[in-house]
Structure 1
Amino acid sequence: MRWIFFVAIYLFFNIYAYQALRTITKSNWITVGYILLSLGILGYFLYQWTQPNPQGGFNGGRGYSLGFVLAFMAANLITAIFMLGEDVVRLIFAAYEKLTAPSTSFSLPSRRTFLSQIALGIAAIPFASLLYGMYQGKYNYKVLKYTLFFEDLPSSFDGYRITQISDIHSGSFDNQKKIEYAINLINEQESDSVLFTGDLVNNLATEMDPWTSTFSKIKSKDGVYSILGNHDYGDYVAWENDKAKHANLEDLKNIHSKMGWDLLLNEHRFIEKNGERIAFVGVENWGSGGFKKKGDLNKAGNGLKPEDFKVLLSHDPSYWQEKIKNDPNNYQLTLSGHTHGMQFGIEIPGWFKWSPVQYRYENWAGIYEEFGRYINVNRGFGYLAYPGRVGIWPEISVIELKRGSRPS
């Protein structure tokens, strides 16, 4: 029934939006082309989503079929809204004519060509944007740099630089050269440490087989530290048994080790300089709603004192709102990811930032501060489901820690 419902909705918007095209031109060739395009996109989507999918998720053709449907549906939805508005006006005019001249036959006024042109012109924007996001936007890496000030930062760490990446989702990648470019971009920052905040894969540890050697190239003076995200536990794919699921997770943990990454599982590590130190604290995934809750802040911070300077890795930013920002152990800086900025939105740096994901997460992209404590929500390195990004580009965060008060 759900497939029948989806096809019915898809065809309804396609047929209704087609009225705008038909108003502009009567060409049979354009009609045939539109029908073939519409049915081709629908057929490709249905084919991909009715095939066996042992890996689960939106890998390969599934993702692209979803992207094409989203682009086409977005364009048709916008066009249909214009057509619906015009039809309401046409109906009102026809009813008025009938009331004022009862002897006349009831007939709707003709559609206006200029309104159909406007509708199609506006609809072309999301259509082109979503296609651009699939082929260019998803690898449009941005290095975003922040400087944060802390009164209690040890003086030896004044100017300490951290590069943060998050949400790699390696099972979605399809361009080796673009990923190698991004790895080089990470290393070019020459940060003191690199911190990865979860979701190495979509579902399976084997997704990293083509990429382990590539990500092993990430280097920094004080090493690479990592945590698990909700997708790393294999919860979104059907397993033969619990043993297979557990083995997948163990394999994924071993991959972190093979790459030279220090995986923090509700634990912490110290970085020492000149007799002073800061702590990198890593919690397992904890997310509000139905997401896995394995994060244990108390366990991860066991033995730390409130006066110790701490950088906390927590995949889901909802944990910061729920517990971290108010925790008496004083976590000065938290690094998160998870939201991807929904891979869609509008950002004008320093002026405007919007994405639909903000209605789900209070902290969804960039730096936030409460009670003198900070969180950076990285927009993500990779992509999931829709195989692209529009307006919310893949991010490499570089955070410089400075001792002292923030300049006014």
Structure 2
Amino acid sequence: MRLPLLLISLPLLALLTDVYLFRRHLRHAPRWLKVLWWSLTGVVLVAVFLAVLFQVKFRGTIDINVAMWAFYAFFLVYMPKWFYAILSLFDYLPRLWHKHRSRWGHIVGSALALFVAASILYGAFYARQHPVYNERTISFDRLPEGFDGYRIVQFSDLHIETLGSAGRYLPEWVDRINSLHPDLIVFTGDLVNRQGGELPPFMDELSRLSATDGVYSVLGNHDYGDYYHWTSPADQAKTLQKLIADEGHMGWHMLNNRSVYLHRGNDSIALIGVENWGMPPFPQYGRLNEAYPARNDSTFKILLSHNPLHWRHEVIPRTNIDLTLSGHTHAMQLKLGWKGFEYSLAEPMYPEWSGLYVAPDGHHKLYVNEGIGCVFLPIRIGARPEITIITLKKDS
């Protein structure tokens, strides 16, 4: 239901915007300029319609990047127009008092439209390709002495099919992570975008990741192939098993509803991983009881769970897990911030959508990584790809 509504509403809004702008600025323009205006409108709208139509009809059989860049072109053209159109409408307010039309809306709208266009270009051709390396120190009173200063590198949501030209930076990202000499590397899901066959071209690079205690990963909602058109359920299951095997061939340790112990001298902590646990329509394959039955024992515990909603709905009320590491939200690939204030469109859906969160009891802590790859649009504005370096600290 959402997709047909999107297919109707976006082109209609775009067409109405172009009619308004044409009447305001091009009614008396030369004929060639009018033809060019409506030709460009037609090309963009038809391209987006065909991209979506082909994705729906031939789901999984054509390159998703074609549709993503078609949508990108649409928003690059129309988002600045929408901002300009809204502000320029205020120019007509003085006419309510029989005065001449103002030009302030036109001036401010033009400036804002240029800023929006520049931001969209920056988000696709620079920010998307250059991660931020966020260092976080998180303190715990239950942390064993042997793990004081323990360093974890977390990355998430590669959506490897969608990397496109950003994929050429993967060796640089791997080198940078290895240069940090972490004790542990964790990946919190969505390695692929639609199906496991995307991974093999990138396996050699990802297998170079190295940490003292190894690389551990869990599955995200995209890893199961639920957004791909399969000839049979058996093919889907077979591809998922191959993805899991390929991660093993890279030297990664999959924690699919299981746990391991990490040791430093006589001290140990539990590293727990669950399959994807999400609220509908996302599937709930995660089984915390299976992964670590003694959920409230005295062991210090770290949980890898792709969807941060798991922390709020199951981890806090039912366990004493000290630290949960998640991804999934991407901060909607759009984050606005000013002097410590941050907002994203992810916030209405995910109360915990980016960064560090501490439960009211002061015990349960969650870190949400904003991920590296993209979905829907190949763009990141204010929410650059993130690689997190977490240092565990013994609270004195």
TM-score scaled by length of structure 2:
0.91
Measure the CA separation in 2 of the matches of 1:210 and 1:63.
21
Q: Any idea what SS the aligned residue of 1:358 has?
A: coil
Q: Distance in 2 between matches of 1:127 and 1:81?
A: 16
Point out the more displaced range, 310-319 or 231-240.
231-240
Q: How does 1:272-311 map to 2 (within 5 A)?
A: 272-303=263-294, 306-311=297-302
Q: Distance in 1 between matches of 2:15 and 2:130?
A: 33
Say if 2:92 and 2:102, in contact at 8 Å, map to a contact too: no
Which amino acid in the other structure matches residue 292 of structure 2?
G
Query: What's the offset of the Cα at 1:32?
Result: 5.1
Distance 1:275 1:83, change over 3 A: same
AA in 1 matched with 2:291: A
- Matching residue's letter, 1:314: S
**Which region of structure 1 is more displaced relative to structure 2, 368-377 or 335-344?**
368-377
For 2:148 and 2:358, the matched residues in 1 are separated by: 20
Q: Does the 8 Å contact 1:270/1:278 carry over to 2?
A: yes
Match of 2:245 among 254, 257, 263: 254
Q: Are the aligned partners of 2:354 and 2:368 in contact in 1 as well (CA < 8 Å)?
A: yes
SS of 1:279 mapped into structure 2:
strand
Q: Where do 5+ consecutive residues of structure 2 fail to align? A: none
The equivalences for 1:61-210 within 5 A come to 61-90=66-95, 92-93=96-97, 111-175=101-165, 176-210=167-201
Paired residue for 2:17, among 13, 20, 23? 13
Distance change in 2, residues 1:39/1:132 (3 Å): farther
Q: Is 1:55 aligned to residue 60 of structure 2?
A: yes
Distance in 1 (CA, whole Å) between partners of 2:45 and 2:157 is 30
Contact 1:342-1:357 at 8 Å conserved across structures: yes
Do the aligned partners of residues 21 and 394 (structure 1) sit closer, same or farther apart at CA in structure 2, a change above 3 Å counting? farther
Which residue of structure 2 lines up, in the alignment, with residue 46 of structure 1? 49
Paired residue total:
387
Of 331, 335, 339, which aligns to 1:345?
335
**Shift in CA distance, 93/49, structure 1 to aligned 2, threshold 3 Å:** same
The residue number in structure 2 matching 1:331 is 321
Shift of 1:135: 1.3
Equivalent of residue 318 in structure 1, options 298, 306, 309: 309
Q: Which deviates more, 128-137 or 34-43?
A: 34-43
The residue type paired with residue 48 of structure 1 is A
Instruction: Tell me if structure 2 keeps the 8 A contact 1:144–1:396.
Output: yes
TM-score where L is the length of structure 1: 0.88
The residue identity in structure 2 corresponding to 1:40 is V
Other-structure match for 1:263: 254
**Structure 2 matches for 1:17-36, cutoff 5 A?**
17-19=21-23, 21-22=25-26, 26=29, 31=34, 33-36=36-39
C-alpha displacement at 1:57, in angstroms? 9.1
For residues 143-195 of structure 1, give each alpha carbon's deviation from its aligned partner in whole angstroms, at most 9, with x where no partner exists.
00111111111111110000000101001011232122222222122110000
Structure 1 residues 234, 129: closer, same or farther in 2, change over 3 A?
A: same
Cα displacement string for residues 190-238 of structure 1 (whole angstroms, at most 9, x for unaligned residues): 1100000000111111111221111111111110000000111111122
Instruction: Say if 1:266 and 1:295, in contact at 8 Å, map to a contact too.
Output: yes
Residues 242-300 of structure 1: CA distance to partner in whole angstroms, max 9, x if unpaired? Answer: 11111111111111111111001111011112121111100111112311011111111
**Alignment partners' CA distance in 2, 1:131 and 1:56:** 28
CA distance in 1, matches of 2:8, 2:137: 53
Q: Which residue of 2 aligns with 1:232?
A: 223
Contact kept, 8 Å, 1:57 with 1:237, in 2: the verdict is no
Closer, same or farther: CA 22–82 of 1 in aligned 2, 3 Å: farther
> 1:391 and 2:382 equivalent?
yes
Mapped partners of 2:332, 2:349: distance in 1: 10
Read off the aligned partner of 1:248 and give its amino acid letter.
T
Question: Could you say what secondary structure the match of 1:347 adopts?
Answer: strand
Q: CA RMSD in A?
A: 2.3
Distance 1:357 1:75, change over 3 A: same
Cα shift readout 1:290-323 (whole Å, capped 9, x = no counterpart): 1101111111112465210111000000010001
1:228 partner SS: coil
Q: Over residues 70-126 of structure 1, what are the superposed CA-to-partner deviations in whole Å (9 max), with x where a residue is unaligned?
A: 222211211221233334543x235xxxxxxxxxxxxxx764444323212112222
Aligned in 2, Cα 1:76/1:193: closer, same or farther, shift over 3 Å? same
Q: Which residue of 2 aligns with 1:102?
A: none
